[in-house]
Structure 1
Amino acid sequence: METLLRQPQWRFIDQSAAGNHFSALQSFGTDDTLCASVGTGEAPATARAWVHHNTIVLGIQDTKLPFLKEGRQFLEAQGYQSIVRNSGGLAVVLDEGVLNISLILPETVKSIDINRGYDTMWLLIQKMFAEFDVQIEAREIVGSYCPGSYDLSISGKKFAGISQRRLKKGVAVQIYLCVNGSGSERAELIKQFYEIAKNGEQTKFAYPEIVPEVMASLSELLAENFTVADVLLRLLNQLKENSDFLFAGQLNAYELGLFPGYYQRVIDRNEKLS
């Protein structure tokens, strides 16, 4: 785990303040672009921070819900746009209190085992909040939205979920961190979405039965009024500790050339799946 977090260089791309000005589709296109550039050696290992306002990101399985249209109309009525990502998992909530972090790592010598990628992000989060006398566990939290074996939780309450994207020898390990606000209110929104989009029908896929009380934010769990900026500082401190050189940057010229193509692919897949 230590070896993946430890990199000769870390480039940090901060898009956490641009939530009102770019869509989550652009974020997924950006991570694909970074996978391609980092994987082919055109850029160093990169950490990207991003925030999107009032967006529900649906998984591919969610598009098979029998009353998906009605479910999405409900979300829109609550003030949320919805998009479909091009990877696994199920619906998650993004808003101004949810910080997303992507670690884009190169598969330089040999392929990165999928659990090793997850463990690297888990280790990073543990180190970021090491001064708190709590255990951050990685296990599925039944009743949460988008449940998985690498749900991060404290005292049985989930505050984060991890996913991965692999492309051209690059691996993007992505996490959403519920920094502040009410975790249970976010879960209640997803619970209502599934109730409307499923409408009591039997489905081949077992969608989660959401129990809002099993989800919380870090601010709620650690009794601290965290802001996204507070958590970003913790992230930067860890990147600095785990590299010889940390620098802030944006997409380089090579990546700016790649981005339109990858972004268009994300748009096309989203339209096809929607």
Structure 2
Amino acid sequence: MRLAFLDDSEQTDPIREGLGHLRALGTVIFPEAQVAGYADDLAGIRAEIGIPAGEEIKWKPAKGSFLARAGGEAVTALRRRMLEAAIAREARSIVVIIDHSAVYTSRGAAEVGQELLKWLFERLSMHLSDHGDLGIVVADKPGGGSKEEKKWLADTLRLTNDGTEYVPPGQVVLPIVTADSQHVPHLQLADLITAATTAAIAGRKSALDLGPLLAKLMHRHRLDAVNGAGLVLFPEKYNLLFWCFGETSWAKPSAQTGWALPHPDWAYGTSDGLAP
């Protein structure tokens, strides 16, 4: 059994040229035997840094919180240690990112959110199948109160009951449940991974500095590449895998073929799109 923890993120105004409003949904997946161990790891990290017991770890710390006052070095150290502990605990990540300014422009935020959820569910099911395992999904409570939460859960129920056109139901064995991320350390890690991955695509330096660690966490398909497996970008801008995460290849399992990155004929073939 594997446990997947799910959270969302967005970047409304990326500094990377050619990108618009990025919306994302991501998950971090733990083997069952490593779940308690990671909670212990994070408790130890919190104690060493001095983070108060009741304070939630967020990519964007709450105003006036310990982490908001701690300074960049302490926050960066915390993020790196959280990711390193997750790697040591055999966790894997999947993040789906849509540039809403370029695609689905006639659809509202809720419809784009449903598309993100479907794509993430498909990759999660494939990940579980690759490991011959089953999974349970725990998501951070969506904003908007109980009415919004009930609607969101109804959308997820269709996936767990019926699957999609690409993956059958069955790998995720229970309806998706929600929890308050303040009390679930693995959801705080999901917040970090999803937000940092999205921020790296957007061109934020604090996230780009974490790129190599994020890449180690990403699920890979059978040709050992992350595209379409641990990271889905739409529209597809494959060279950003190189600029953001140091990936040197893009591969297509169905065709048993691939290309070296950066590819000069694709977007961002000769530049990362960031101002000098």
Tell me the TM-score normalised to structure 2 length: 0.32
Q: Which has the higher helix share?
A: 2
